[in-house]
Every structure is written in structure tokens, then in C-alpha cells.
Amino acid sequence: MEKKAAFNSKVLPYLLLAPSSLIILIFLFYPALETFRLSAYRTDAFGFRKMFVGFDNFSELLVSPDYGKALVVTFFFTLWVVVIGLSVSLALAVLANQKVRGIRFYRTAMIWPYALSTAIAGAIWAFLFDPSAGVLNYFFSIAFNFKPKWLTSQELALGVIVATTVWKNLGYNIVFFLAGLQNVPEQLKEAAALDGANSWKIFWRITFVLLSPITFFLLIMNVIHAFFDTFGMIEVMTQGGPARATNILIYNLYRSAFVNHDVGTASAESIFIFILVMFVTLVQFRTAGRRVHYQ
Amino acid sequence: MAGQNLFASRILIHLSFWAVILLISSPVLFALIVSTQSPVEVFSYPPKLTPSGHFENYVEVWNTIPLARMFFNSMLISVLVTVGKIIISLLAAFAFTFFEFRGKNLLFFLTLVTLMLPLPVRIVPLFELIADLGKTVSPHLGIDSYFALVVPFLASATGTFLFRQHFLTVPSELLDAAKIDGCGPMRFLFLILLPLSWNAIGAMVVIQFVFVWNEYLWPLVATHSEDMRVIQIGVKMLINAESANNWGVIMAGVMMAMLPPLLVFFLLQDSFMRGFAFMKEK
């Protein structure tokens, strides 16, 4: 596996790995396998009897219009978060890659919202979008002469969640794009400039191409963030509403498991999420090798 | 002429930076301003964009939710998970990088697989496991225990890989020299590797502290009593309690809840950027 296995000891490596392995076995593998088992059972309404139902929990989810809507909402939510989030972050990272006085301060001032939680981001943006107290509606009414009810409108609520998530992820994305930009060899850009390429061409033909491994890594990470980390934000801002317009998969799972106490359905939902995560992770592993060249 | 153009473009770059920073920071700045305003000022039209002196909002937060207790819980959990995770993944990364042993590939593969098992994939059985531990073994291991909030999260594939990646960059001459001097593995870890790893450790402190402090779903599920609630849930409780949408008080709570991870971030930002994204120093 690698070059520098150095020490010889029969026992020590196992001792070193014992804490990590124990926790992984007890709190990760065992519950994950248990999810598969529970997904094949249904508990009656009083929680007394468990019935084996095979794949019924899965097939019921697949034909449920509510779950279908959760899938669609999650898809579009993730799509917008990735497309808008990565474009904005890349533009800002290019700015942050300038060599000017005070650059350290500028960089910090651009990425610090990284340290905020999604619940706190949600609370702040819920205030900004508040129909009567929020400043955004004030600016909107001046500019466009209308005051939408952002979070209670089916069309707009998801947009608000997307905007909040994009804002919240900016710091993380900028850090990685910036690292990628700093690893683009200067000589390459200088050579292209000598050959008469303008800076627009240099960016898209050289920088952007060399950046693609980082872009891909961030794409994966943003998908994962959108799937899972948004829970606190949704809980604070919309609770999945209005009319399930912001009811993404993780929120639906939480409601099935801990509001409706429907263990079988919730476990089946967990398995669907597992399949999505597995797919995303495998794609990442397959392409991870390419990333090493540029680091 | 050329000098003037250069000067103008410099000014333009600085202005762009300030515009971007203002835009990115404005939500939090608005929140900070509102946290000092009375309800009348909050709902005034046009909105009042200057701070006021109603710091009683901050006192009101203390009277509405058990803030001290929640702060204590969040702090304890964040510190325990951060420190525990770093120690455990340092040891694991050390074993994976500097030893050859039977089952190494299998254990490495199992660590890798955990990347596919985020909390939502196992949350129902994990909850049942914790609830059972509480009923059959000890309430200190069950729902509403620190054990439930800390121990299941102490293993980290991310941490193990981050440290392993870092260990692989340590020159092998260093290892050879240490071995010639009769340095054993544990001494090598503590006296040579650890001092070389501060950036990676600093990055892990920021990532983990921010992550645990901000975690919402598991604390919501694994705690029921108000005594065990964390500050993130407190923000939501504050919103529910202030039914007239008294944003001044809510934003005061938000300001306090965001402070600790921000402090950790600002203190360790250099390590964070270098160790996290393997950024070059420039």
C-alpha cells in the first residue's frame, strides 16, 4: 500500500487501531447493518408487534407522491446549490488569489461564515427575509415595488434555502479553490501570455482545466453538504414547508423516524440515502487518483 | 501613464475586495445591529440600519432559555469530541503509515467504507442502540447522556486520512536517523511526528470544533431533557418562544451562539488553511 512501513511490532499496530476500530464497529457498522434489517419490518401502530414485510417499505416509498416530491425537491435544491455555489465561489477565489497588500485580512474576511452553523445561518436569513421586519423586503419594495412573502410562498421558499446554503458554503469552497489556484504553475500562464493568449483565454484554457480536480472534489462535497448539513437550516426556517416545498430527503427521514415513529419506513429511507451516498463516494474514489497530480 | 493605470487597477481591486466582504458579511452585520434594537425599532419602516442601545435583548435571552447550561453542554461536547477524535485518528494514521501487519488492508478498507455511512444512514438503529444501553446498562450511556453525544462520533475517517496524508510527507531520512539512534515507535510519534504535525492538528481542531458545535440533528434526537440540550437547539427554542418574532432577542441569542466556533476559527485560521486544503504559503 505504501513506501515507508518502518517499525516492526506484532502487537502495537493493533493497539493503536483498537479505539478507532471499536467505535467504527459498534457505532457505525453495527447500526448500518441494523438499518438494512429494520427496513424489512413494519411495526404496528402501538409499537408492540414487528412484521416482516420484505421490500414493502421500499415499494411504498417509491409510489408515495410525498416521497416523490421530496426526491424532486432534493434534486433541484442540490443542483442549484452546486451550480450557483461553485460559480460564485470560483469567482471570489480568483479575486482572493490576487497579490495585494492586506490579502491575509481580505481572505479571512471572505471565508469566516464557514464557522457559522446552518441553524444560525437559517435564523439570520429568516430575519433578512421576514416580510415586515426584514431588510431584504425593504430593498425589494424600493427596487421592484413588491414585497413577496418569501418563506410562506411555495415557489420562493426553496430559493431562500438555496441562497442561505450557498452563502453558508462560500468559505469552504473559497478555501479549496484558492488552494487549487495557488498550485497552478506560473510558468504555464506566462508561456501562454508570451504566445499572445489574453487573460480570459488563459483562465479558461489553463487555470480552469488544471483546477478541474478541485472543482470535482468540491462538487461532491457540496452535494453531501446539501443532502445532510442543511437539516438545522430547514428545521429553523421552514420545517419542510410550505406544502413540502423544502422537504428534502433528510428532513423527510427525520419526520418519519422521530415524529411519526415509523421505524420501517425511516430505515428504508436511510437505505435510499445510503445508495445515493455510495454512488457519490464511488465516483469520487474512481477519480481521486487524478487529483494527486496537481497537488 | 502606465503607472497611473496600474495605480487605478490596484484601487479597483481593493474596492472589489471591500464590496465582496461587505456583501458576504452583511447578513451577520444586520443581525448584529438588530440585536441591539427594541421591537419598535426592528419593525420600523423604513428599517433602522444603525445600532441602538437595547442590550437588554442579551439579558432577555438568558431569561428565555437556559443559556448557561446549553453553552456548557455545547462546549463540553465540542472539546471532548475534538480532542478524542484527534488522538484516536492520530494513533490510527500512525499505525497505517508506519507499520506492516496482518489485516492492514482490510482495516484500511473498513475505515474507508465509513465515509459512506454518515449519520442519516444509521440514525434509527443508533438511536435504538443508545436507548437500549440507557435502559439495560446505565442511564449514563443512554438518551440524555454525554456518552450518547460524544462517544459514537470519536472515530473519523476524515481525520485518519488527513493525518496519514500528512505523515506520508515526512522525509524517510528522518525516520532512518531516528531508528539509528534507537528511537522506538511511540517516542518517534510523540517527539518527532507530533511537533511536525501542528498545522494538520490545528486544521482538525477547527474542522471538528466547528462541526460538533454546529451539529443539530443528533443532539435534537438524542436529548429530551432541557438540561442536556445544546445551544443550536436553543436558537430554535428562542425563535419558538419569541412568538411575536422579537428579532432583537433572537439575533442576540444568535450572536452569542456563534461566538465560540468563530473564535476557534480566527485563532487557528493559518493552520486551517494550510493543513486543511494543503495550501501553499504565499
Number of structural domains, chain B?
1
Domain boundaries, chain A: 51-294
A174 close to A131: Cβ distance less than 8 angstroms: no
Q: Kindly report the backbone phi and psi dihedral angles of residue A52, in degrees, each rounded to the nearest multiple of 5, phi listed first.
A: -75, 125
**Model confidence over A27-63: pLDDT tens digits?**
999 999 999 999 998 876 666 677 888 888 899 889 9
Mean pLDDT of B162-173: 87
Q: How much is the ipTM here? A: 0.89
Residue A198: its pLDDT value, please? 84
Contact between B47 and A179 using a beta-carbon 8 Å cutoff: no
Query: Quick check: B254 and A123 in contact, CB under 8 A?
Result: yes
Please list the ranges in chain A whose pLDDT falls under 70: 1-5, 44-48, 288-295
Mean pLDDT for all residues in chain B: 89
Cβ neighbours of A130 in B, within 8 Å: 245, 247
More confident residue, B72 or B55: B72
Chain B residues touching residue A123 (CB < 8 angstroms): 235, 239, 250-251, 254
In this predicted structure, the answer to whether residue B220 has a pLDDT above a threshold of 90 is: yes
Quote the pLDDT of residue A98: 87
By the 8 A CB rule, do A170 and A92 touch? yes
Residue B243 has which C-alpha cell? 412568538
Contacts of B239 in chain A (CB under 8 A): 123, 126, 236
Question: Which pLDDT value is given to residue A44?
Answer: 67
> pTM for the complete prediction?
0.90
The DSSP line for B128-159 is: HHHHHHHHHT-GGGSTTSHHHHHGGG---HHH
Which of the residues B123, B232, B282 would you substitute to probe the A interface, choosing the one with the greatest number of A C-beta atoms within 10 Å? Answer: B123
Of A24, A128, A274, Cβ closest to residue B110? A24
Structural Rg of chain A based on CA atoms? 24
pLDDT given at position A2: 46
Question: Residue B149 sits in a domain of what CATH number?
Answer: 1.10.3720.10
pLDDT-derived band of residue B43, with 50, 70 and 90 as boundaries? confident
Residue B37, in any domain of the structure: no
For residue B24, being part of any structural domain is answered with no
- Residues A271/A39, Cβ–Cβ less than 8 Å: yes
pLDDT of residue B279: 52
How much is the pLDDT for A1? 43
Contact A17 B95 (CB under 8 A): yes
Residue A289, exposed/middle/buried by CB under 10 A (0-12, 13-18, 19+)?
exposed
**In whole angstroms, what is the distance from residue A19 CA to residue A14 CA?**
9
Q: Give me the domain span that covers residue B64.
A: 52-277
Instruction: Considering only the beta carbons, identify the residue of A24, A38, A99 that sits closest to B155.
Output: A24
CA pair distance A72, B132, nearest whole angstrom: 36
Q: What is the pLDDT of residue A293?
A: 39
Query: Which residues, 6 or more positions from A84, have their beta carbon under 8 angstroms from its beta carbon?
Result: A162, A166
**Looking at residue B257, what is its pLDDT?**
94
- Classify domain A51-294 by CATH number: 1.10.3720.10
Query: What's the whole-number mean pLDDT along residues B143-166?
Result: 92
| Residue A217 forms contact with B (CB below 8 Å) | no
Evaluate if residue B3 carries a pLDDT over 80: no
How many Å separate Cα A200 from the centre of its chain? 30
Listed in sequence order, the residues at least 6 apart from A43 whose beta carbon sits closer than 8 Å to its beta carbon are: A49, A50, A51, A262, A263, A264
Q: Chain A window 114-173: which residues touch B at a Cβ cutoff of 8 Å?
A: 114-121, 123-128, 130, 132-133, 135, 138, 167, 170
pLDDT at B277 over 70: no
Per DSSP, helices labelled H in chain A are 12-23, 30-38, 56-63, 65-96, 103-111, 118-128, 135-144, 154-182, 186-194, 199-202, 208-224, 231-237, 249-254, 263-294
C-alpha to C-alpha distance for B38 and A98, rounded to whole angstroms: 42
According to the model, what pLDDT value does residue A288 have? 65
Q: Is residue B31 part of a domain?
A: no
Q: Is A6 helix (H, G, I), strand (E, B) or coil?
A: coil
